[in-house]
Amino acid sequence: MQFFIEVLVGGLLSGVMYALVALGFVLIYKASGVFNFAQGAMVFFAALTFVGFQEVLPGWLGLEADSGVVFWLAFLLAFIAMIVLGIATERIVLRPLVNQPHITLFMATIGLTYVVEGIAQMTWGANVRGLDLGIVDEPIAWLMDNYEIGVSKFDLFAAGVAASLVALLALLFQYTKVGRALRAVADDHQAALSIGIPLQTIWRVVWAVAGFVALVAGMIWGARNGVQFALTFTALKALPVLILGGFTSVPGAIVGGLIIGASEKLAEVYVGPFVGGGIEGWFPYMLALAFLLFRPEGLFGEKHIDRV
Amino acid sequence: MLYREAGQFKATYAEDSQIFPIRQDRIGFWVLMLVFGVAVPLLTNEYWLKAILIPVLIFSLAAIGLNILTGYAGQLSLGSAAFMAVGAFAAYNFILRIEGMPFLVALVLAGVTAALVGILFGLPSLRIKGFYLAVATLAAQFFIVWALVKFPWFSNNSSSGVVTAQDVTILGYTFSTPEAKYVLTFLIVAFMALLAKNMVRSSTGRAWMAVRDMDVAAQVIGFRLMRTKLLAFAVSSFYCGVAGALYAYTYIGTVEPEGFNLDLSFKILFMIIIGGVGSIMGSFLGAAFIVLLPIFLDNFVPMIFGDALGAGFVSNFQLIVFGGLIIFFLIVEPHGLARLWQIAKEKLRLWPFPH
């Protein structure tokens, strides 16, 4: 039983990390209808930029490498880089493709994936780098002693970050002018345009926010597994989360992430041995697929009604 | 002036409904067939045949397969490489396990196996649409490759899942030289492309296009949705399966499941996007473009920048150029190279007199 709970909690917490990546997809899809495959590359780009600045800044400014100033300055610079990337994407890729079919936009973001990966590695090199957030990846002693359940501090920290990020986004969406405009655009492009909401500004904001989410996701994933090219594959982890939760729903991304994370780990432990292991690559997809057969729009997706 | 159809009258239905209604096109087609079927294998060297021409042909076939599904029937799929894997390993097992299995029969059986798997993974398309379906096809991609690695039976208990294709023998003749393999590939691909072209011109193809344009409307006017969609999945997977078998037998020779990864699926998707969605001709143009581009960049980038930059820089630069070109093509000509070809033909019809 303890083992089961341990696996379950571990799964739920890693699900939070999937949800972090899925969140970026949802934001962009909601506001601009673009299925942004480049989100994984953005996560990689953001993490690499952050670590890169962390490496070069002490030399430039003559500061200690582990000082807080360097950390936050690197964070700020990486965020600015993500904003620039977002604006450039809007300007160069999306604007000329307005009104094209969804598949064309999707393909363009696959192209964007290659460009972003190339730029990231060209600027900072392809070495695997460590990223230290100051939180050790070890079980919480109190839970271990009293209940013999190993829950990593780091996972808990990641969950906390994700929760505060979602809360922050919810506040942004609900209580600011930009947030209202964002929701209007997500609801109906035409109507939003006709009451004077600048579509392109909104898109830039959304890409910048998605860039911020990518930065946070990249830092957490990077601290976990090292900042390396494999970070781009986080996108593939996020896709089943997306279709399970629904492309257009922020809560869906979180709930989907939890479901996928938990069931993936449980399946790996309890089903995996019977079929030879290594099933985490496809199991989330199969689960999401089976789920979609009952709810074709995912858990919280908008119901699509066809009219002839 | 040369490309003008004045004076070519169609007196029968057969003449009216042929693939190339204009005489110059027919001549051009046969010239192309002769050039690529006879002259090319006689004149080019082994490198061109092995590294460029054979892969272009095989990827064209896979692109036709995906084009049938995505371009004609409108079901976005990201799992075409997995169906190629099914074809490759099915052909391997049919030839391995059945004594005296003729190669061409094995090829067809490989296609049929892929088609059956395709129908299975096409079933969700009846319920889910658009990007949800695209992500769902990733399930096929990951599951099939995983299964081929995990169950050693598929690769005849080879430890790493790598299989070496047997000799290709038809009626006692063994296709061992690159020239022979090229001609075989060429004939098969040409035949299947012709078949595909006729399929999409027939009622089958019209049903697919109706479903693509709006499936509810198509259903309302009496198309059977399930049959049409599943047929598209089956035919598409059949083509991908045969392409996969050819990939193993006439191109690489030694294949492993991991070779048919998501990257390959994306590559095939790029081929149809750059070549032209919903065009058989475009599949060939796109395949040629995607196969040639990396080779071109490999040679071109060091030529300009010298070798001083190192291999890492070159490969990253290639990534950027590759991605940038895809975006560029989508922006400039969303209908692909096939559309450019069409525009050129229309211009040529009027040339040199504009009226």
Q: Does the beta carbon of B263 lie under 8 angstroms from any beta carbon of chain A? A: no
- Determine contact: B309 vs chain A, CB below 8 A: no
The ranges assigned to domains in chain B are: 44-260
SS3 assignment, position B202: coil
Query: Which residues are CB-neighbours of B96 under 8 A, at least 6 positions away?
Result: B156, B166
Q: Which of A302, A275, A240 is nearest to A22 (CA)?
A: A240
Per the CB < 8 A criterion, the answer to whether A244 and A288 are in contact is yes
A61-116: per-residue pLDDT in tens?
776 666 777 888 888 999 999 999 988 988 888 888 877 777 788 888 888 999 99
| Dist CA A99 CA A87 (whole Å) | 19
CB B157 within 8 A of CB B252: no
Running DSSP on this structure, what letter comes out for residue B153? G
**Residue A228 confidence (pLDDT):** 79
Contacts of B75 in chain A (CB under 8 A): none
Contacts of A106 in chain B (CB under 8 A): 76, 131, 134
Three-class SS state of A139 = strand
Query: Which has more confidence, B232 or A249?
Result: B232
pLDDT at A139: 67
**Which three-class secondary structure string do you get for B114-131?**
HHHHHHHHHHHHHCCCHH
CA distance A53 to chain B (A): 20
Q: B335 CA to chain A: closest CA distance, Å?
A: 10
A253, pLDDT greater than 70: yes
pLDDT at B139 over 90: no
Round to whole Å and give the CA distance between A88 and A95.
10
Count chain A–chain B contacts defined by CB atoms under 8 A.
139
Distance CA A17, CA B38 (A): 57
B316 CB neighbours in chain A (<8 A) are 117-119, 121-122, 126
**A243: nearest CB among B135, B151, B316:** B135
Q: Is the pLDDT of residue B117 over 90?
A: yes
Q: What is the pLDDT of residue A199?
A: 81
Residue numbers of B between 265 and 284 with CB closer than 8 Å to A: 266, 269-270, 273, 277
pLDDT of residue B104 exceeding 70: yes
pTM of the model: 0.88
A112 interaction partners in chain B (CB closer than 8 Å): 323, 327
pLDDT of residue B288: 92
Q: Provide the 10 A C-beta neighbour count for residue A219.
A: 23
Range B30-50 average pLDDT: 84
**In the block, which residue shows the tokens 């609801």?**
A187
Largest CA distance in chain A: 67
State chain B's maximal CA–CA distance in angstroms: 68
Phi, psi (rounded to 5 degrees) for B254: -125, 120
Task: State the Cα–Cα distance between residues B351 and B3, nearest whole angstrom.
Answer: 8
Interface test with A, best of B132, B157, B293 (most A CBs within 10 A): B132
In chain A, DSSP finds a helix count (H) and a strand count (E) of: 13, 0
Give pLDDT tens digits for B63-79.
Answer: 999 999 998 998 888 88
Per-residue pLDDT reduced to its tens digit, B337-346? 888 888 888 8
Chain A residue numbers with beta carbons less than 8 Å from the beta carbon of B268 are: none
Reported ipTM: 0.83
Q: Which whole number is the average pLDDT over B39-51? A: 82
* Other beta carbons within 10 Å of B322: 18
Rg (CA), chain B: 21
Average pLDDT over residues A44-59: 85
Residue A139 has φ and ψ, to the nearest 5°, of: -65, 150
- Mean of the per-residue pLDDT values of chain A: 81
Residues of chain B contacting residue A239, judged by C-beta atoms under 8 Å apart: 135, 138
Residue A212: which of A13, A23, A16 has the closest Cα? A23
Q: Chain A 45-74, CB below 8 Å of chain B: which residues?
A: none
